[in-house]
Amino acid sequence: MTATTDGSTGAMRPRVAAASETDINTPVAAGVHEAAALAVQRATDFLLSQQDAQGWWKGDLDTNVTMDAEDLLLRQFLGIRDESTTRAAALFIRGEQREDGTWASFYGGPGELSTTIEAYVALRLAGDAPDAPHMAKASAWVRERGGIASARVFTRIWLALFGWWKWDDLPELPPELIYFPTWVPLNIYDFGCWARQTIVPLTVVSAKRPVRPAPFPLDELHTDADNPNPVKPLAKVASWDGAFQRLDKALHLYRKVAPRKLRGAAMQSAARWIIERQENDGCWGGIQPPAVYSVIALHLLGYDLEHPVMRAGLESLDRFAIWREDGARMIEACQSPVWDTCLATIALADAGVPADHPQLVKAADWMLGEEIVRPGDWAVKRPQLPPGGWAFEFHNDNYPDIDDTAEVVLALRRVRHHDPERVDRAVGRGVRWNLGMQSKNGGWGAFDVDNTSPFPNRLPFCDFGEVIDPPSADVTAHVVEMLAVEGLAHDPRTRRGIEWLLAEQEPDGSWFGRWGVNYVYGTGSVVPALAAAGLPGSHPAIRRAVTWLETVQNDDGGWGEDLRSYKYAKEWSGRGASTASQTAWALMALLAAGEHDSKAVERGIEWLATTQREDGSWDEPYFTGTGFPWDFSINYHLYRQVFPLTALGRYVHGEPFTRTVSPAVSQTKGG
């Protein structure tokens, strides 16, 4: 892909390749439907071949090199860094460096300051000399952009652990926060679950302020050697930023007078909170960042590395590592087996695989075994709600999520299981739990109810990514679709969800995508949900969405959207190089809207057929998943397989909600 400069933003706008530029040119002369049917068969065979013997699917999950850099820094801090791990991590990090010496946070993205700093420090740990050409280029770029002083707070915390930054010049995060009741602003449950799990251990780290001997200086990353920690001016008192900056100054003063017994008790309470939330596999929340900070916090509180909690935590971190054939070692931020398995099951069923196919039944068995039937942190806001749901990862019983639960129900209903009563019971619990997790505005967030406080994002500490979990269009859409399939399309709670979705439509006809990139994902999620709930293709909201999708279709027939749409929505909404997953999302929306025979659908199907590889898969280096909009992006390696197969299958076989996919669905829809 080549690019041209956008004068209004300075960003690089991609030039979308024409279909003739693709490496593969599968003939479609026999007709679009025939080409689609052939592509479905190839993709089905490929996806079936990727299933684990236990019944699950899991693709690699790429994020960025901060995962790898922080893994090395953790090992350095704990005194357990070894040469083989360091060498393998460095090999991966070097391979991700761009020509200009920087590291980006997503494929094809611009250089990112904090990512570049952390990668640079990791390579210094690996022995790369600061005057080596690739290192000198990186450090010069960092200095040009303000040096370490301009990095985000999390990066400066890592550097403070080794004395490369002063703790006094970081935002204060008191452990007494653990005692705030839920009605007090900025209590830990005002934060989204991923932020909550990170902030609690960081309160201990902030209170302890540890400094390990630095293995080398980092003067080359400072713009002013005499004043490496410059003080930034305060914002106006009357502004939110100014108010929270002054609150931070007050917390720094409180640190000096905090009662020692209270502080010590708060840290011990934080430790108990952390340990209570450690999963059976030793991890925390099934994701890497909370696990890293929890290990550091407990270590600072006296837990030695042989303690069972610590040993299990460190072992769990090793399971995030993917060793590649070239000897490089990549760290996944998390793993997505439940999400991947339910999406793969839906794709295969919609592609025509029999509902009682042994591999679908095995997948259903595995998903049923992953159901979470005990309360988690969500019960703080919903203490009377019985548990029932699914998480994203192998082990994350404290944090089932609403999105996975909805999609797992949709997947289970596509399988003809040998124990239908067991399926009905699990689905019933999942539906009940999802309904109970509806926010008061009618929408659904990913993990929590009414997690919409405006205050956490204002804290000086929270300068990276989303720290709250408000309802989003994509999650709400998946829940609405699931409820419709369960015969609850006319339930008042479903109707409230539909009303919320209609109110959230953008003026151009699209929907914002919180957990996938971006407006194409949001629109590809919402339109099928509205159609499943009974809105006709002639509904004005659906017609606006169709028009928008037709407008942003690329010349090659596919769809794509660059992550810059999160930052520059006007210029980048629905714009980017065509990808298999995003083309599939657009097609899923158009097919649900009744556009099966439209030219836009035909061209999109042709693009998928012509770009499919001989083994039935698709290539997709672009990041189309979202952790935090713009700040943290994800390349789910299975997206490029499951979504194209879903779209092609629906093109060939029809929409799933217009045909019976299991006895249970037939009964609910008939009632």
Residue at 454 is within a domain: no
Residue at 487 is within a domain: yes
DSSP conformation class of 627: E
Give the start-end residues of each E strand in 524-652: 625-628, 632-636
Number of residues that make up the chain: 671
**Same-domain check for residues 340 and 238:** no
Residue at 491 is within a domain: yes
Residue with tokens 């079936």: 48
Residue at 16 is within a domain: no
Instruction: 127-133: list long-range contacts, CB under 8 Å, 24+ apart.
Output: 127/90, 128/90, 128/94, 130/220
User: What is the spatial distance between Cα 439 and Cα 448, in angstroms, rounded to a whole number?
Assistant: 8
What is the model's pLDDT at position 664?
A: 37
Helix (H) or strand (E) holding 524: helix 519-532
Q: 538 with 595: CB under 8 angstroms?
A: no
Phi first, then psi, for residue 149 (nearest 5°) are -60, -25
318 HSE (CA, 13 A, CB side): 9
Q: 522 with 473: CB under 8 angstroms?
A: yes
Residue type, 189: Y
User: What is the spatial distance between Cα 111 and Cα 503, in angstroms, rounded to a whole number?
Assistant: 36
Q: How many CB atoms are located within 10 Å of the residue 209 CB?
A: 14
The domain boundary, picked from 331, 348, 370, lies at 331
Q: Mean pLDDT throughout 577-604?
A: 97
- Tens of pLDDT, residues 596-622: 999 999 999 999 999 999 999 999 999
Domain count, the chain: 2
Q: 390 with 430: CB under 8 angstroms?
A: yes
The domain boundary, picked from 277, 309, 331, lies at 331
**Same-domain check for residues 76 and 120:** yes
Residue at 455 is within a domain: no
**Same-domain check for residues 287 and 433:** no
pLDDT-derived band of residue 665, with 50, 70 and 90 as boundaries?
Answer: very low
**Same-domain check for residues 238 and 160:** yes
Cα separation values, 123 from 87, 127, 178, Å: 9, 6, 36
What is the model's pLDDT at position 657?
A: 60
Residue at 45 is within a domain: yes
- Tens of pLDDT, residues 402-447: 999 999 999 999 999 999 999 999 999 999 999 999 999 999 999 9
Q: Mean pLDDT throughout 79-97?
A: 97
**Same-domain check for residues 238 and 374:** no
Q: Which of 90-99, 252-261, 353-362 has the lowest mean pLDDT?
A: 252-261
pLDDT-derived band of residue 662, with 50, 70 and 90 as boundaries?
Answer: very low
Active site residues: 403
Mean pLDDT across the chain, nearest whole number? 91
Percent of the chain residues topping a pLDDT of 90? 85
Q: Which of 48-57, 336-345, 470-479, 653-662 has the lowest mean pLDDT?
A: 653-662
Residue at 21 is within a domain: no
Q: Mean pLDDT throughout 239-253?
A: 78
**Same-domain check for residues 127 and 106:** yes
**Same-domain check for residues 386 and 240:** no
Q: From 455, 467, 347, 351, select the one nearest 411 (Cα to Cα).
A: 347
**Same-domain check for residues 47 and 74:** no
Tokens of 530: 């509205």
- Tens of pLDDT, residues 501-522: 999 999 999 999 999 999 999 9
User: What is the spatial distance between Cα 326 and Cα 502, in angstroms, rounded to a whole number?
Assistant: 49
**Same-domain check for residues 248 and 162:** yes
Cα separation values, 427 from 36, 397, 399, 424, Å: 32, 17, 18, 5
Q: Mean pLDDT throughout 525-553?
A: 98
Cα separation values, 190 from 11, 204, 377, 457, Å: 35, 19, 12, 10
Tokens of 107: 């494929």
Is the pLDDT score of 160 beyond 80? yes
**Same-domain check for residues 180 and 292:** yes
Cα separation values, 151 from 145, 155, 172, 416, 468, Å: 9, 6, 17, 53, 22
The domain boundary, picked from 301, 331, 361, lies at 331
**Same-domain check for residues 129 and 161:** yes
Residue at 466 is within a domain: no
Q: How many CB atoms are located within 10 Å of the residue 196 CB?
A: 25
What is the model's pLDDT at position 354?
A: 97
Give me the domain span that covers residue 194: 62-221+234-331
> 196: domain CATH number?
1.50.10.20
**Same-domain check for residues 547 and 575:** yes
